[in-house]
Amino acid sequence: DDRVTALIHMLGLPIALTGPLVYPRIFPLWPLTDMAGMPTGMDDNTHLPATIACSADKLGADRIYLVDNGTSLRLCIRPELPFEVLQTVFQVDSLADVALALAKPTATASSEMQRVLAIIQQIRRERLRLPWQSLTVVLPGMPDESRLLAAACEDSVGSETSYVDFLCHIHKLVQNIQE
């Protein structure tokens, strides 16, 4: 059963990995902010883009995101990403070639792709003492995409409310008690 496997996996994790596994960090990689992927001037460190809420509603249909769950990294390419962005960032003509482009030497990569790779390396560097984080490319319409979107912990599941709605409800209850 997948649930038992996930529970056993989680019980054996170091404390540093349980937070990101429960609440993954999502970094927007396209469009990149001015400083994202650029050197900080301190050792080999790189500026990371600001994270967004872990909700499928926050994921734009024409963007690229990097999802960090502590054990792996997933490069999520959304379905309406313009073809020109694929050519600009990854220098490829189809979505299927993105993974191959990431495996090429960085010397031939575009400046945007070098910035994306620098962000990936910075995240891996933050977890230097933990197991190596694999990188997976998640393409639109593939089974990995539905698994990735299901991990968006701020979204409502079934008849349950979302985490944000739950917090708003608790806030209203506290305000009512104070009045």
For residue 91, the model assigns a pLDDT of 93
For residue 121, the model assigns a pLDDT of 93
Cβ atoms 25, 68 nearer than 8 A: yes
Reading the block at residue 179, the tokens are: 């009045």
Residues of the chain with pLDDT under 70: 1, 153-159
For residue 158, the model assigns a pLDDT of 62
Q: DSSP characters for 53-85?
A: -S-GGGS-TT-EEEEE-SSEEEEEEPTT--HHH
For residue 127, the model assigns a pLDDT of 80
For residue 155, the model assigns a pLDDT of 59
For residue 140, the model assigns a pLDDT of 94
Q: What does pTM read for this prediction?
A: 0.80
Which helix (H) or strand (E) element contains residue 3? helix 2-11
Cβ atoms 64, 30 nearer than 8 A: yes
CA gap 160, 94 in Å, rounded: 38
For residue 2, the model assigns a pLDDT of 73
Which helix (H) or strand (E) element contains residue 138? strand 134-138
